[in-house]
Each structure stands twice: as structure tokens, then as C-alpha cells.
A and B are shown apart, each in its own frame.
Chain A
Amino acid sequence: MTAVDEGTATTAPGRAKSVGTGLKRKEDARLVTGNTNWTDNIQLPGMQYMAFLRSPMAHARITRIDVTPALSKPGVVAAFSAKEIGDKLGSQPCVWPVTDDIKIPSYPALATDEVRFVGECVAVVVASDRYAAADALEAIEVDYEPLPAVVDMRAAIADGADLVHSDMGTNSSYTWKLNGGDYAAAKAKADRVFTRQYVNQRLIPMPMEPRAVVAAPTGSDGELTLWTSTQIPHIVRVLLALTAGIPEHKLRIIAPDVGGGFGSKLQFYREETIAAVVALEIGRPVKWVETRSENAQATHHGRDQLQEIEVAITNEGKILGMRVDLLANMGAYMMIITPGIPILGAWMYHSIYKMEAYDFTCTGVFTTTTPTDAYRGAGRPEATFAVERLMDDLAAELKMDPLELRKMNWIENHEFPYESISGMTYDSGNYEAATEKAVAMFDYDGLRAEQKQRRESGDTMQLGIGISTFTEMCGLAPSRVLSALKYVAGGWEHSTIRVLPTGKVEVVTGTSPHGQGHVTAWSQIAADQLGVDPDDVTVIYGDTQSSPYGMDTYGSRSLVVGGMAVVAAAEKVVEKARVIAAHMLEADPGDLEFVDGAFGVKGSPGTTKTIQEIAFAAFTSHDLPDGVEPTLQGVSTVDPQSFSFPHGTHLCAIDVDTETGMSKIRKYVCVDDIGNVVNPMIVEGQVHGGLAQGIAQALYEEAVYDDAGNLVTGSLVDYLVPAAPDLPFFDTDRTVTPSTTNPLGVKGVGEAGTIASTPAVVNAVVDALRHLGVQDVRMAMTPERVWRAIQDAQGGGSGAADGGERTAEGTIAYGGASTESTAGGESA
């Protein structure tokens, strides 16, 4: 064991840094061989299976429920409705009451007297296998008395509307405002006011792994272990303790391998509460695995906003002020951060643009639909969509090149750090550089020339070019900011690093990866900080017993917050090691330098002590300096000082067949600036996946309810998650403008592609058709919608030429987007 050799080591030649290299992922060996640990893989002795009876109606009173007939079915060991165990379940929590007077309804885990969306849990059966449990559901007797479905947001807040929660007297949960400057004054001095209305449709997150839960009583005194397919094991532990009254110290939550989340597993679900309570009730382990159809109905949805956005401008196109008015669909209940999702977009509608005034209002609306909550980007894709659609539409109105309009209004590189009109300080950015690079990669001028030629020749295949120059705020979040926003928890992150006696390294992280590659990236960071090989680092996560502190993974926070905790913990390891090394080298700690994993005396090459030698000395602790504790570890909990603001320029060229309405992306170029990069291979993968989801919102995906409140896109048959033929190769590149708010100079990347890409694609389709009179096409831009938009525009009809509803009749009716523009500052 070299670690105890008293011999000397000479300073090795410089160790190659791992950060910045595309190290192949450590995670993959298990995943490509099927050696996985999904929640559904867990088998425990005596384990029973749960199945849920769900509401078939959007809104109804439960006048009678009887689970006892299910008890006589084969294999059934128990069945419960709220009558039997409602008292033990509590109400599912909402942790983000965004205003003082917000209305947050009770949200019982099992419906008590009323159901308010299709898919709501009404009863649970516990049986010996999943088939028997599903069979027995049919025996449960429920009488429903139908109540009016409430599916349209505008109708929901009209006078005399049917109510989702009758005791509240309104379907409006809250109205939240944010102001910067004096918008009325900006509007008064503007040459023109330009107003647009957009629909940001409802989406279903659809991670490939549906949710799954296993709950097991593990002790004699009410202890419980809960495996759950979640992004947030630590938060689930706190919330389960608070909700179901299970003492926190008796709860162990494990997020094993998790097959994607995209925000949908940033949630504390009623099925988790029920599994925990039922397992304790029957004294046996229980498992529940969500079917895809249940996933579509009962896992929270995303987006769903009606957006009105207005800018006060000069005749030259300079933006003086912006007003945003949103209706945001909450669904039937408030889940953990439902009300806050549209609010997260409040700081992003003005985006990269300078202005004197900004006026933001959001009203949260209850409907009898699946609750909404975080979906990749969470409020920021909606904001970016509205403002970037607006910029392209405004450029068309002003007969300007849309890039030139953006350049006239964006924050210039020399102006950073820049305090935005809503009070956020953007740390760094270089919109010019990213745009210049993207334009060159795209051959912008060449494609514009081809577009002109095709328009002039009346080609049935038209070419559109769409632009999106975006920024986003990520890295949730400074705890003091969260406090100001009335979010009930903090935004810190934790790491413990242990250097083991043999010199190997354990990194404990509070982040909870589910595809992002933290094991690889955190290994790279720790390896560089400690001067060891990434292969000698292991990363421990996702289990509240082995990783007791954490705020988990969402909001592009893991690297910029969790990664910084790894850096800080490593610094503490080095700090402690320095004292021990000085003792071993009989030198003053201040005279030592730590280079490539070894301490030596500055300016005198020769004797050094490696981190591994020091770790062994700290383990034996035979000869430690006075006051130094045995073992070599560093512990750090980091609260971020600020958000980080990635940005980029996305350009989309799309061919639109004007005879069929079929759109096909010909070229997609994006240049993202996410500061310094830990692993470029992983970063590129994150961008690709983000692009796919953003493009899918533009072209393919839409959760559709009929007017009775039935989700008609309730499976992968009806809800079009794109497959390989539906997407192109992406041309991605980066510029690097390091963040100034964290030691690695990194910014988040997990949501960037999704936030940026949706408006680029819609702008491209509209650009292809604008000369035909089309001003907007509703998402998802199906061939039918594109075709109808062309027909409406060509026919000169008075209806909105945006393609209209996805299904002509019987579906949710927002009344179509208005595409009027007004001049002279008269518009309200």
C-alpha cells in the first residue's frame, strides 16, 4: 500500500483536467445491459399490488361508494376508499402559495365527496398480483351524480360560471402582478402599440418510465421505506411526513433508477401517500406501477396558458414597454408548485430586450382537468414562446428583418451585468456572438434568397425561416429569493466528499439524477478538485439514508447549485488535507501548494504528499496534528447567490407543403451559451433532447379535452410523442461566456433546448405562409391546422386564420387567437 510509504514522491507531470472533456458516461454500462434498478423491478417478500379506481367523470358528486364487493375477489387482501382511510391520508400539499389571498382547495388523496377530473383516485384495491388487483376494481360500487364540467378558462372566469370548487365561489385562484417602470407612461409616448394573443397549449410530459411506487414497512415501530420514481426523494420525505403524519425520522425515501421526469416527477403524488399509508395499514409491502393511460390522466400536465402580450414601440421598432396578461390553467387542484409555474415565466417575457417599463399579470384558473405543474422549462418556455413569436410578428408588421429588430432591442455584450426591467441581474451574455455564429452555420442569407425565389415562383413548397433568441433563468434558487416569492422551502444543495483510506473518493450529492449523467459529471468535477482519476470517484445519491440532505433535481439547478456544493465540499477536503500534509512535511500550511493531487512546498520541487497518502494518515490517525479529527472528508451546503442566465440563438428552416399542410424541418441550427462546460458530450445530449421536446410542442403534441372534460389524448396512440422519423439531425454549437456567479463559470442546460425551440419552429411555419395571409398557426401545427390556416387566409374569411381547434367540434374552445395589430397607441 503506497499510501503509507514514507518515501518521497516527486511532483508528477500535470494531470489532464477531466472537466471540459467528453468523458463517456459511467452510468451506461448498466443501462445498455439491462442491469437496472427501476422501481418496478423491486420484489419483496409478501409484496402486494395496488390498483386504483379512478373517476370516469370530469366532475361529479359521489353519492355512494362501497369497496366491500372487491374484497371477495380472488387474491384481494384489502380495499379502501376515503371512508376507510381518508383520515390517515391528509390533504396533498401545495408549497407555493404565490399570493396572500390565493385560493388553495383541499386535495384529498382519495376523493371524498366529489371528483374534479377524469383520472382522480377514488378507491384502491390491494391484491396478490397486478392482474388480480386490476380485476377487482370492477367490483367496487360507486354512484356518481354528474356536475358541470369546466374546461374552458375564459368561460371559467366569466360571471355565473359553473364552479370547480363550489365552496370557493370563483374559479379564479389568484391574480399575481409584477411591474417594472411605468407602462402607462411608456405607452403614452409610444408611436404604436402592437398586441398579440397566443395559445400555449397543454402538454403531457410523458417520461418513458411511468411512475411507480413500492412502500415497505421495515421495522416494529412504524418505520417505512418508500421507493418511488421521483426527481425529489428528499422533498417527498418532508412532505410525506407533514401530510400523512408519518414521523420524518422513520421514513426512508429511495429514488432508484428513474426513467426520465421532465418535471412530471418533480411532484409529491397522492399515490405515494396512499402506498405509504396502505403499507403501514396492512403491514406488508405494496407496489403500484402506473399504466401509460394512468400516466396521461393522473401525472401532472404542463403549459396551458392563454397569453396576451403587448409592446409599446417607436416607429423604428424600439421597444419602450411591454404588457403581459396571462390566464394559466391550474387544473382541478393545486399540486406542489402548480400556482408558481406561470410565475416563473414572469421575469422572462421581456427576455433579452431592453425597455423602460414592464407590466405582468397572471391569473390562475381552476378547471375540471388534470392539474398542471412543472414540465421542462416550467413557465419559461411559455414566456419565450410569446415574446419570440411577438418579435417575428412585429418585424413582419414593421417590414423589418426579424434579426435586425432583435439586434435593435437586445442587451449588448458591453452592458453586462445587466439589471433587467423586472429586477433580475443577468450575470453575463453575448447575444451578438451567438447570433453571428448561428447565422453563419445556418446560411441565413442563402436561405432567405431561396425563400424569395420560391415565393416569387409560387412554389407549392414554401420555405420558412424562424428565429428564437432566448435567455432563461436557471439554478433554482437563492433561498432568500424563494422566500420573497412565498415558496415555503429553500434552494440550497448539499454535498459530502469522503476520501477513503485507500484513496478512493465518495461524493454524496443531494441532487437526484434521472438521465442527466451526474455520476459522470460530478466524478469529473471532484476528480479535478482533488487531483484524482474520475474512475476513482463514486457518486452516491437518491436515498435519504445515504444522502440525507438535498433539494433534488429540477429547474436546471443540479450543476449550478449541486455541482457547486461538490466544489465547495472538495475545497473543504483540500483545506483539511493541507493541515495534515503540512504536519507530514514539517512545513507551514501556508507554504504548501496543492497541484495535481499532491501537496508540496511552494517553489521547492521535491517532497510531496498525495491526497491518497493524506487520506490514509487521516484514517490511521496515528500522527495527526493537534486538534485535527480523524478521517478525511468535506461537507458543504451551498445556497446560490444568484440565478444563471444561459442564452442562445436558434434558427429553424422548414419546408411547408401548401397543398397538404405538411411541415418538415429542413435545418435546425442552435448556438447556446451556457458558460463553461463540464462534459460537452452530455451537454449536447441535453440540448438534443430539449430541442425534441420544444419542437414537439410546436408540431406534434397537444393534450385535448372534449367539452365533457374527457382527455381524448389519453395514450401514446392519441398523444403524438415524436419518433425518430419525425425529427432531424440538429446542428448545435456553443459560445462560451462564463457565468460570474459560481466558481466553475457554468450555467444550466437541461431546459435550454425546450425553452428556445418552440417559437423558432412556429415562426418558421408562419414565415413560410405569411405572404399567403397567414399570421399565426396554433400549436400543435398539425398538417390539418396548417392547411386550414392557409384556406382561411386565402378565402379572406373573417375567422382567425390560425388553424383553429385541433378537433372541430366537442373540444375545449378557447375561441381562437386574435391576430389583430393596432397603431397609434390606442389599443388597450
Chain B
Amino acid sequence: MVKITVTVDGQSRTEDVEPRLLLVHYLREKVGKVGTPVGCDTSNCGACTVSMDGQTVKSCSVLAVQADGSSVTTIEGLADGEWHQVQKSFKECHGLQCGYCTPGMIMASVDLLKENPHPSEAEIRDGLEGNLCRCTGYHNIVKAVQHAAAAGGAQ
């Protein structure tokens, strides 16, 4: 077991974990952040995307011990009093149906807009390539990111 200290959605915690424990399982089963789901075992789907020290990571591809000393933001910590613009835009534009990919899709979109506040359609599609959705055909997800960009969602 290895002792790690991680700040998750603003709260710091220290505990012993197995070295092989994946960050997503740490978040879900040790911290109780079950808003971040698991969709695959090959890091293709992106459902488990979170922000770690300002970088988006697929939390199934990071070991919990690698997050030692880091600050992790999940979908549950994204809203700051009120919803992030990207969350608002996903609802406004019907950018989700079953909602399983949505946490990862929103986290990836937030990062995309941070790097490129006014992306083209192609830049949005390329930027979200690592996140799979089976419900929407991406049409309204792209529209949602465009909507968020127009509303100044990069903040």
C-alpha cells in the first residue's frame, strides 16, 4: 500500500491505496465521486475524463499513486455555485441523451475551449475525438460546444 494525498473537487484527503489502483476507481470507490463513470478498458471512450492539475486525463489510464500531490476536478466539482457554461450549453442544445458519456464529454469540452476559445466545427470534432458518444451522433454535442463558445464558455 502507498500513502497518497489528493485534492478532489477542492477537498484534500490522504489514504493508503494499492499501487495498481486506477485513478477512476480511486475517485469512484474511495472518494465516492461516482459522477465519473467507466466506459471501456482501453482508454478509447473518454467517459472517465477528469481534470488533473489543469490537464484533462482519462482517469482509467492514470494510477491513483500518479495523482499523489495533485488536484483533480471531476464533473461534480465543475460547477462553481452555478453551472459552468458548458454544462448549461449541453442542456440547452440537447447535447446528451443517456448521459453516460456526458461527464467526460463536458470535461473534454471545457478543456478544448480553454485552449481554443473560438474553435471551428472541425476543431471541435477533432478536439473531442477521444470521447465517444453512442446516442447523439455528436451533432448536438458540437452545437453545444459552439453555443458555449459563443457564450464565453472558455472561462
Chain A residues within CB distance 8 Å of chain B: 24-25, 27-36, 38, 40-41, 43, 129-131, 206-210, 257-260, 262, 289, 291-293, 514-517, 681-682, 684-686, 688-693, 715-717, 721, 723-725, 727, 729-730, 753
Contacts and interface: CB of A to CB of B under 8 A. Distances in A.
A595 B33 CA distance: 47
B128 A207 contact: no
The 10 lowest CB-CB distance pairs between A and B, nearest first, are: A34-B35, A259-B100, A515-B98, A31-B99, A692-B137, A716-B44, A34-B75, A515-B97, A292-B40, A688-B137
B4 interface: no
A257 B76 CA distance: 17
B130 to A, nearest CB: 8
B41 A692 contact: no
Contact of B39 (A131, A209, A682, A688): A209
B11 to A, nearest CB: 15
A689 B97 contact: yes
B68 interface: no
B124 A724 contact: yes
B118 interface: no
A29 B91 contact: yes
A35 B139 contact: no
A24 B92 contact: yes
Interface in B90-145: 90-92, 94, 96-103, 106, 121-122, 124-126, 128-142
B96 to A, nearest CB: 6
A531 B96 CA distance: 29
A34 B79 CA distance: 11
B59 interface: no
Contacts of A715: 40-42, 44
Contacts of A727: 137-139
30 contacts: A25-B91, A31-B99, A33-B75, A34-B33, A34-B74, A34-B75, A36-B37, A36-B99, A38-B100, A40-B28, A208-B47, A209-B39, A209-B100, A210-B38, A257-B99, A260-B98, A292-B42, A684-B140, A685-B94, A688-B136, A688-B139, A689-B136, A692-B134, A692-B137, A716-B45, A717-B42, A723-B130, A724-B129, A729-B121, A729-B139
A685 B134 CA distance: 12
Contacts of A25: 91, 94
Contacts of B128: 723-724
A208 B133 contact: yes
Contacts of A717: 42, 44
B100 A208 contact: yes
A723 B131 CA distance: 7
A36 B106 CA distance: 15
Contact of B41 (A291, A691, A730): A291
A717 B131 CA distance: 13
Nearest to B127: A724
B125 A725 contact: yes
A40 B38 CA distance: 9
Contacts of B92: 24
B36 interface: yes
B18 interface: yes
Given A32-B102, A259-B100, A724 B38 contact: no
A724 B125 contact: yes
A717 B98 CA distance: 23
Contacts of A41: 28, 34
A-side interface mostly:
loop
A31 B96 contact: yes
B87 interface: yes
B39 A208 contact: yes
Contacts of A692: 134, 136-138
A730 B137 contact: yes
B98 A33 contact: no
Contacts of B42: 292, 715-717
B36 A34 contact: yes
A43 B25 CA distance: 13
Interface residues of B, number: 59
Nearest to B97: A515
B3 interface: no
A685 B36 CA distance: 23
Given A207-B98, A208-B47, A259-B98, A716 B132 contact: yes
A724 B140 contact: no
Which label, helix, strand, loop or mixed, suits the secondary structure of the B interface? loop
Nearest to A289: B38
Contacts of B40: 292, 715-716
B76 A725 contact: no
Contacts of A28: 90-91, 96, 99
B106 to A, nearest CB: 6
Interface in B26-72: 28-29, 33-42, 44-45, 47
Contacts of A262: 134
Contact of A293 (B34, B37, B41, B106): B41
Contacts of A34: 33-36, 74-76, 103
Contacts of A729: 121, 139, 142
A361 to B, nearest CB: 34
B20 interface: yes
B37 A209 contact: yes
B79 A209 contact: no
B110 to A, nearest CB: 12
Contacts of B76: 33-35
A686 B96 CA distance: 11
A516 B138 contact: no
Contacts of A207: 98, 100, 134
Contacts of A730: 137, 139
A802 B137 CA distance: 27
Given A34-B35, A41-B34, A685 B41 contact: no
Contacts of B97: 260, 515-517, 685-686, 689
A208 B98 CA distance: 9
Contacts of B137: 688-693, 727, 730, 753
A514 B140 CA distance: 18
A725 B106 contact: no
A541 to B, nearest CB: 14
A32 B132 contact: no
Contacts of B75: 32-34
Nearest to A130: B25
Given A40-B38, A715-B41, A716-B45, A208 B139 contact: no
A488 to B, nearest CB: 29
A208 B132 contact: yes
B38 to A, nearest CB: 7
Given A38-B37, A729-B139, A131 B98 contact: no
Interface string B5-27: 00000000000001011000100
Residue among A258, A692, A715, A730 with the highest chain B CB neighbour number at 10 A: A692
A717 B76 CA distance: 29
Contacts of B142: 724, 729
A36 B28 CA distance: 12
B105 to A, nearest CB: 9
A620 B142 CA distance: 52
Given A33-B79, A724-B128, A515 B99 contact: yes
A24 B33 CA distance: 26
